[in-house]
Structure 1
Amino acid sequence: MQYEIKGTVMQALYIQLEEGEKIYSEAGSLLSMASSIELETNFTGGITGAFKRVVTGNSAVLNHFKAKDRDGHVSFSTRMPGHIVPLQMENYHSIQVQRHSFLCAEESVKLDIIGNLGFTGFFGGNGLIYNQLHGSGLAFISVDGEVNEVHLEPGETILVHPGHLAAFDSNVRFEVQRLKGFKNMFLGGDGLFLAKLTGEGTVWLHSLNLHGLGEVLSAYMPSK
């Protein structure tokens, strides 16, 4: 399998599959594919798996692409202006990925549903719904805006607005930290909680906060 990431502010991923090779993606991310590519949409994990995906905000199905009889290409686009990050999964035990950040992966990479990371509250309008990638091979995630890749040293901690947290590897310890002070919590505009991330490990951050973008655009939307 060979791939190329094209574009600048809204990238696309082009993958060349050799005969017999397979990849899968979330529904709705396909840009184009060769006529030699076979597409199969299925409820991965059966009805129970599909229900779990739906209640956690994921698409009910996954799309699987196979170069059946000969080589061919398949390409994917991001949902927002942003960048595509390739992840060689052998370099990580696993990676927790925001539900809308997963783009596609080789069949040897497993995608599991985690859910809300043990918290059911609101994070400035953003629920912390994450999936887990693990296994071997290549996976690709989509990061809104610019990619901020942070390498945390052992014991190093950062506090992140949850709307900017795209992914982090499993070596990073995740905790919820409430903002201190009444004014900070209710007047600061950044929600009630922050994600506390402690290394050693890697964190990938969105520079574009989808919730914040929605608030800006809502001022220009016609009211009923």
Structure 2
Amino acid sequence: MNYSISGDSLPVLKVQLGQGENIQCEAGAMSWMDEGIQMQTNAGGIGKMLGRAFTGEGMFLNTYVAERAGEIAFASKFPGSIRAVEISEGNGLIVQKGSYLATAGNVNSEVFFQKRLGKGLFGGEGFLMRRFTGSGIVFLEIDGSAHEYELAPGQTKVIDTGNLAAMSESCSIDIRTVQGVKNILFGGEGFFNTVVTGPGKVVLQSMPISTMAMKLYQYMPFTTSST
């Protein structure tokens, strides 16, 4: 299997499948493909189906199998980037909801429960994320530009709400309260930051959809109706 990513700020993942190869994605993620590639829709069991629903993802997955060699493409749903992250046994990936695009290889997906409820309620990444394990490639859809860091053991990165797209499962995640009343009220950073500690890879995104939505909301005209 070969792949390429093109399209600048509106990227498209193009995957060249050899005969018998396959790629998996959420239902509705495929943009175009060649003849000879067949779709198989499945849920993977009620537990996995409900888990995907809890993390804000689609309840069903599509597997595209190449009966003969051909191309299949997945277009980004928002201006940004697409990144490919290789995983292996014992080196999985934790992904924020909305960042998953597709997987190739022997990759399993399950719900990742953050250790403390407060992390999910206030950290911006959600109480439930997704863990990908196995051996293969996880393709991520990034809001805005993507920035990758390799954290050494004990090294931390303090991240604003929503900017964490993915991290190695070897990393740990915590929530840090912004210090100082004036900082909270007037600093514009909210009440909490997400803190990720290495070792492992961290993938950050520069323009979360939630941030963009709030900015656009400020310019929305408000109308009132009279009776």
Partner of 1:202: 201
Aligned residue for 2:40, secondary structure, equals strand
* Separation of aligned partners in 2, 1:151 and 1:43: 34
**How many angstroms does 1:63 deviate by?**
1.2
Percent identity for Structure 1 against Structure 2: 32
**Cα distance, 1:110–1:33 mapped onto 2, change above 3 Å:** same
**Cα distance, 1:115–1:181 mapped onto 2, change above 3 Å:** same
Partner of 1:118: 116
Q: State the TM-score, normalizing by the size of structure 2.
A: 0.89
Does the 8 Å CA contact 1:104/1:141 hold for their aligned counterparts? Answer: yes
| Ranges in structure 1 where 5+ consecutive residues have no aligned partner | none
Partner of 1:160: 159
| Ranges in structure 2 where 5+ consecutive residues have no aligned partner | none
Partner of 2:183: 184
Aligned residue for 1:121, secondary structure, equals helix
Aligned residue for 2:101, secondary structure, equals strand
Residue by residue, what CA displacement relative to the aligned partner does 1:150-184 show, whole Å, maximum 9, x if unpaired?
Answer: 12122211211131000010222211111122232
Q: State the TM-score, normalizing by the size of structure 1.
A: 0.90
Partner of 2:23: 23
* Separation of aligned partners in 2, 1:116 and 1:58: 17
Aligned residue for 1:51, secondary structure, equals helix
Partner of 1:71: 69
Aligned residue for 2:58, secondary structure, equals coil
Partner of 1:98: 96
Report how many aligned residue pairs link the two structures.
Answer: 221
Aligned residue for 1:211, secondary structure, equals helix
Residue by residue, what CA displacement relative to the aligned partner does 1:182-209 show, whole Å, maximum 9, x if unpaired?
Answer: 2323443322211111122211100112
**How many angstroms does 1:128 deviate by?**
5.0
Aligned-residue Cα RMSD (Å) equals 2.0
* Separation of aligned partners in 1, 2:163 and 2:13: 22
* Separation of aligned partners in 2, 1:26 and 1:88: 19
**How many angstroms does 1:27 deviate by?**
2.4
